Structure 1
């Protein structure tokens, strides 16, 4: 098969022949039709991720057809169209991942390839209304957004939520999921164009976080503070978010792409009875809930651009430029 291989950090990913995977007992081989990028893949390439072991086939998201299984008891999967849950070995506690937890694509060989061997426990039926590219875009970001919104923050119909940094995959899924659940959604971005596009997906409005006094502007536009705020950036912009959460509200976060928040005012958190909720990825139950929700509401992932597998490194450079709106996808076969 052909696969994208990263041999050293800060070097291009190259597409070259690799051994065809053979399924062990409990595994299936999936002939991948599409795979999708996540920022995790870029950070691994740049040497900015913990536990990097090279050489490596990156990639956490994929969709395709099962071509072989490792045990006769799993024959029912043969020939089925599937998506892959990239949350490996979550463990028995739905509240938190266990010690064996890892994300597909590091250290396990990932989806930037024509084929992959994956535990059958991590397979799910491809939502019938999605194309291969849309289906591949769903798993990691969709799972992350689902758990953040519903398992952790407990978002309810009629509540008001702020989603920061709209345009990335998880933020867009959070927008689509929250709208489908009956919440009123507001967004932030540094791009007026991305805010406008978010409104076409159901956002009530948004503000540019680079504008002076944007929190006050947003509060006035939204008619008051928010029941839930969802953030993945952290950094200096995290502190102002506390001011935007109503007393008794929830602030849920799953990333720190701009670093650790400086000078976090804990007094504003405890005096106003705020709940701070950290989250990452999701359990098998979260993945099942997410895929059922997507199928029921016929949610269509936003795909920014599709590259051929041979142009994997160009796709990573496109992600590094930061102009995308939605998921960047590889056509793998």
Structure 2
């Protein structure tokens, strides 16, 4: 089968499309014939990890059950499914359990014509989604759901700030927050992305390079959901109301920030980290997007043969929404 793999050397030059052995389901596993899959920042970080053998990248995917292993009785061949990339995290908890992994490294992932996963990691495909929309949904939507609801505890009428709109997770946060009646302000250096966010329903979109307090007329927010890190941390914290919550799930501009302690403890802020989510939250998220008929924002669709172009587009931050892969166009 055809697959996007990473081997030697490290970096994007190690990306290639090659024939890999077709997976065979073991006990408690299924093989899914993939219709579409989605690119995430995790895939970019993964190409810079050292490895001995080629690994199929990709965490997102949706398709049709092709084969089932022994002991599998809750799904049937031919069923349309979506893949939960959180391996070994069944129930909602404060943090992932020991042994938690994400599909796509070190185990083979979804940038292939077929993938093998535990049966507990598939759920029925939401009927209102196309294959491309379902294929790009899992990792980003799960991350957004846990950040916004499990950790952030967002409520109707609250004001949410989303720095750096444009990523798949950030667009999901915008759509989900609006679905529960929150006010949403986003930031971006790009006027085009700010305009796109307003079209998606954002209440305000401000220039990341400007003075946030001035652009927001001094208004503060109840919740910041951030993945940018150092480049925007101080301005984000400054816009948080006393007693507000700050949830971080990424580090796109650096690995560390300086935390101004006096504003932090006088502000009575709550700072939380989050990543991915459990199978329980994945099911909650699917019900939520079905109930509210939320559709992922798809930036571009690429065939496997254009994998390097897709990776570079994300690396350079040009996308708005999710980048999708299909085996061929």
Fold conserved (TM > 0.5)? yes
Q: Please state whether the residue corresponding to 1:19 is helix, strand or coil.
A: coil
1:190 and 1:208 in contact (8 A); partners too? yes
Counterpart position of 2:303: 308
Q: Please state whether the residue corresponding to 1:255 is helix, strand or coil.
A: coil
User: Within 5 Å, which residues of 2 pair with 1:1-333?
Assistant: 1-8=1-8, 9-10=10-11, 11-45=13-47, 47=48, 54-74=53-73, 76-90=75-89, 94-211=93-210, 214-220=211-217, 224-332=219-327
In structure 2, what is the Cα distance between the partners aligned to 1:306 and 1:129? 19
In structure 1, what is the Cα distance between the partners aligned to 2:313 and 2:234? 30
2:168 and 2:321 in contact (8 A); partners too? yes
Q: Cα distance, 1:216 vs. partner?
A: 1.4
Q: Provide the alpha-carbon RMSD of the alignment.
A: 1.6
**Structure 1: which 5+ runs fail to align?**
none
Q: Cα distance, 1:81 vs. partner?
A: 0.6
Structure 1 residues 13 and 144: CA distance shift in structure 2, 3 A: same
Q: Please state whether the residue corresponding to 1:118 is helix, strand or coil.
A: strand
2:163 and 2:232 in contact (8 A); partners too? no
Deviates more, 1:2-11 or 1:135-144: 2-11
In structure 1, what is the Cα distance between the partners aligned to 2:257 and 2:309? 35
In structure 2, what is the Cα distance between the partners aligned to 1:91 and 1:203? 33
Q: Please state whether the residue corresponding to 2:288 is helix, strand or coil.
A: helix
2:242 and 2:267 in contact (8 A); partners too? yes
1:236-281 per-residue CA deviation (whole Å, 9 max, x = no partner) reads 4212211111011101110111113443102211111111010000
Q: Please state whether the residue corresponding to 1:264 is helix, strand or coil.
A: coil
Structure 1 residues 93 and 146: CA distance shift in structure 2, 3 A: closer
Q: Cα distance, 1:219 vs. partner?
A: 2.9
Structure 1 residues 287 and 324: CA distance shift in structure 2, 3 A: same
Q: Cα distance, 1:16 vs. partner?
A: 1.2
For normalisation by structure 1, the TM-score amounts to 0.94
More helix by share: 1
**Number of positions where the alignment pairs a residue of Structure 1 with one of Structure 2:** 326
